[in-house]
């Protein structure tokens, strides 16, 4: 079968012909219909992600597909069931094996490309904003990187939770995507002074930051007293150092959040979060945005779209 594999961190990943996988005990074999890409895939391809496997391995952290075979001891999900799963790797291939316990049935009306890019992006924003930040209706949420894979979901979920949402993104086109997702106020990070603009709007009660770098520093300076700042990632490549004097004087809480970590220490939190998200989706309150869908042979192009920041929302590959 075809798979987009990392064989060595010194050379680019490429499509290879490999033997089809066989499900082990507790696993299922999935015919993969779609694989949602994440910023972590870029890091994993370079060997810099915190959970990078030892090469060779197949990239692709989350998929949607149909169960084709069951490993020893598995009775559910049944063969023929459409499922979505976050497996951490193995998604950019025609088939993959994944733990049966992590598979979630996909609603009949949810297309494969939507389901493949749903779990991580929406799950990250939902659990970060509800469990970690405790975002309340009537508060002001500042979203950095608001047109990106996770940032756009934070805009949507923030609005669903009753917050006033300030979206920060690069350029008019990306800001328009954020506006359509429900953002109340728009700030162009290429031309506007983020700190001054946010303060002029009354400041931020919660900051959602997948960017880091100078944007983090600007957002911190625009925080209201008792604000909560959630660090999601560092797409800018700059991990900011936190000035303790500022968080002390203004009683600000800086919160770390890693969605994948919950798989190891509290998977029940993810299951509950996903159930709530699927309810919001079926109720028509979430509208996943996919800017590009590419075939497996163009998987590197799909990664390049994210790295060059030419995509909005999710990028999906269809094996």
Which of 130, 129, 146 is CA-nearest to residue 183?
146
Please indicate whether the domains covering 2-118+288-318 and 121-259 agree at the CATH topology level.
no
- Tens of pLDDT along 213-245? 999 999 999 999 999 999 999 999 999 999 999
User: Binning pLDDT at 50, 70 and 90, where does residue 263 land?
Assistant: confident
Mean pLDDT of the chain: 96
121-259: which CATH architecture?
3-Layer(aba) Sandwich (3.40)
Number of CB atoms found within 10 A of residue 69's CB: 16
- Please tell me the distance from the alpha carbon of residue 186 to that of residue 164, in angstroms, as a whole number: 11
The stretch 295-318 carries a mean pLDDT of 96
CATH topology of domain 2-118+288-318: Quinone Oxidoreductase; Chain A, domain 1 (3.90.180)
- Residue 29, classified by CB atoms within 10 Å of its CB into exposed (0-12), middle (13-18) or buried (19+), is buried
Contacts of 228 (CB under 8 A, 6+ apart): 132, 133, 134, 205, 206, 207, 252, 253, 254, 255
| pLDDT for 50 | 87
pTM value is: 0.91
Q: Report the interhelical angle of 119-127 vs 151-160 (nearest 10°).
A: 50
Asked if residue 93 has pLDDT above 90, the reply is yes
| pLDDT for 240 | 94
- Tens of pLDDT along 26-63? 999 999 999 999 999 999 999 999 889 999 999 999 99
Note the helical H segments in the chain: 39-46, 112-116, 119-127, 151-160, 172-180, 194-200, 213-221, 244-249, 262-265, 267-282, 299-307
The stretch 174-184 carries a mean pLDDT of 97
Tokens 């998200």 belong to residue: 277
Delimit the domains of the chain by residue range: 2-118+288-318, 121-259
């Amino acid at each position: 079968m075809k798979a987009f594999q990392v064989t060595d961190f010194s050379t680019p990943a490429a499509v290879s012909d490999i033997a089809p996988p066989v499900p082990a005990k507790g696993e299922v074999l999935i015919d993969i219909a779609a694989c949602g890409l994440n910023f972590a895939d870029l890091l994993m391809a370079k060997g810099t992600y915190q959970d990078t496997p030892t090469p060779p391995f197949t990239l692709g952290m989350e998929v949607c597909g149909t169960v084709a075979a069951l490993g020893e001891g598995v009775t559910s999900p049944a063969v023929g069931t459409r499922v979505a799963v976050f497996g951490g790797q193995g998604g950019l291939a025609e088939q993959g094996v994944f733990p049966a316990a992590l598979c979630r049935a996909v609603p009949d009306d949810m297309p494969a490309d939507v389901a493949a890019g749903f779990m991580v992006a929406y799950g990250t924003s939902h659990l970060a904003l509800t469990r970690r930040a405790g975002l309340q209706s009537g508060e002001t949420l500042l979203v950095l990187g608001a047109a990106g894979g996770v940032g756009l979901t934070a805009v949507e979920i923030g609005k669903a939770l009753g917050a006033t949402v300030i979206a920060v993104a690069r350029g008019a086109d990306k800001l328009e995507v954020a506006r359509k997702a429900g953002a109340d106020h728009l700030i162009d990070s290429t031309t506007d002074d983020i700190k001054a603009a946010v303060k002029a709007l009354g400041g931020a009660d919660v900051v959602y930051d997948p960017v880091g770098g100078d944007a983090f520093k600007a957002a911190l300076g625009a925080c209201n007293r008792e604000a909560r700042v959630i660090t999601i990632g560092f797409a800018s490549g700059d991990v900011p150092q936190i000035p303790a004097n500022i968080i002390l004087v203004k009683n600000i809480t800086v919160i770390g959040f890693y969605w994948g970590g919950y798989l190891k220490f509290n998977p029940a939190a993810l299951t509950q979060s996903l159930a709530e998200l699927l309810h919001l989706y079926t109720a028509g309150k979430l509208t996943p945005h996919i800017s590009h869908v590419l075939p497996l042979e163009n998987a590197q192009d799909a990664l390049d779209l994210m790295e060059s920041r030419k995509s909005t929302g999710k990028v999906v590959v269809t094996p």
